[in-house]
């Protein structure tokens, strides 16, 4: 019995070390890529400033809580940033495969699932950093948030969104061999997911056939949860949003780990 307990502790320690090592590698890679940080913030800020200004000037779409258009758009733009960053986190698997690192790490006596989990946590951490920076920059630009506790709660929502989509990115990247193929599939996925999420519009007045598509989009629940925590309004009950996000994240992380375990290197 003692030997079994000792073996279990050793396996657990090895697994946790694997997760930490892969997470740390992603963090170091992110820190060294200054252009990646700037680029990941520039596009969402462009959307926020241009769309917010255009909506304020042309539509004057005020919410029931008195929030301006730029404040209404901010949670959607943050969600967009998390979506793009998380899905593209899967491209690191393709890089590692091309440079031979993946083969070296996978011949180690550790579970592939924990290798995938470490990469997922690294990718979602970078996505959360980008989302948090964007939230703070938007606040400095005049976006009105309801409270500081709500801003902190939004970071937890970013975590769930990021986990869900990086799990999907890892699952796809595990069986795609080229950057070009991965980019094409990501473009095919991200645009419909983003445009149907309600990031740029309210979903209450949409036709019924489009509402069905919107409710099938997991990002919708992330955007609504961010709107609830940041500006205090949502068109879907927050408990439903959190439940869907947790289920989506658990499903895609499990799928990503499984697909990564079956990947050929």
Whole-angstrom Cα distance, residue 187 to residue 130? 20
Instruction: Please report the pLDDT score of residue 73 as a whole number.
Output: 85
pLDDT > 70 in the chain, percent:
81
Per-residue pLDDT tens over the stretch 138-195: 888 878 888 899 999 999 999 999 999 998 988 888 887 777 777 788 888 888 899 8
Mean pLDDT (whole number) for 226-232: 92
Residue in the block written with tokens 């970071």: 155
CB-based contact 226:157 (threshold 8 Å): yes
Whole-angstrom Cα distance, residue 158 to residue 223? 9
Q: How far apart are the first and last CA of the chain?
A: 38
Mean pLDDT (whole number) for 248-255: 92
Of the candidates 171, 111, 124, 94, which has an alpha carbon nearest to the alpha carbon of residue 27? 124
Query: What DSSP letter does each residue of 102-120 carry, written as one string?
Result: HHHHHTSSS-HHHHHHHHH
Per-residue pLDDT tens over the stretch 19-49: 888 888 888 877 777 666 676 677 777 777 7
Highest mean predicted confidence (pLDDT) among 77-81, 108-112, 143-147, 218-222: 218-222
Instruction: Name the burial class of residue 36, with classes exposed (0-12), middle (13-18) and buried (19+) by CB atoms within 10 angstroms of its CB.
Output: middle
Q: Which residue has the higher pLDDT, 243 or 41?
A: 243
Instruction: Please report the pLDDT score of residue 123 as a whole number.
Output: 86
Is the pLDDT confidence value at 196 over 80?
yes
Q: Write phi, then psi, for 100 (nearest 5 degrees).
A: 85, -5
Across the chain, what does the average pLDDT equal? 81
Is the pLDDT confidence value at 247 over 80?
yes
């Amino acid at each position: 019995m003692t030997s079994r307990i000792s073996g279990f502790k050793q396996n657990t320690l090895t697994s946790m070390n694997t997760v930490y090592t892969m997470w740390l590698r992603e963090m170091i890679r992110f820190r060294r890529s200054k252009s990646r940080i700037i680029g990941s913030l520039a596009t969402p800020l462009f959307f926020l400033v241009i769309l917010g200004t255009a909506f304020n000037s042309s539509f004057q779409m005020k919410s029931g809580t008195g929030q301006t258009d730029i404040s209404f758009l901010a949670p959607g733009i943050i969600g967009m940033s998390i979506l793009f960053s998380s899905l593209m986190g899967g491209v690191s698997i393709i890089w590692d495969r091309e440079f031979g690192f993946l083969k070296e790490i996978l011949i180690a006596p550790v579970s592939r699932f924990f290798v995938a989990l470490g990469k997922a946590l690294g990718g979602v951490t970078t996505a959360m950093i980008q989302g948090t920076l964007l939230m703070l920059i938007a606040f400095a630009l005049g976006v009105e948030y309801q409270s500081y506790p709500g801003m902190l709660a939004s970071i937890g929502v970013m975590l769930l969104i990021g986990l869900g989509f990086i799990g999907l990115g890892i699952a796809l990247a595990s069986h795609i061999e080229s950057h070009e193929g991965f980019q094409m599939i990501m473009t095919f996925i991200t645009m419909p997911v983003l445009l149907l999420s309600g990031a740029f519009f309210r979903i209450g007045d949409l036709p019924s056939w489009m509402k069905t598509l919107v409710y099938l989009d997991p990002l919708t629940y992330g955007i609504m949860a961010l709107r609830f925590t940041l500006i205090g309004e949502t068109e879907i009950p927050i408990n439903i949003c959190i439940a869907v996000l947790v289920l989506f994240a658990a499903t895609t992380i499990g799928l990503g780990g499984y697909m990564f375990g079956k990947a050929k290197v």
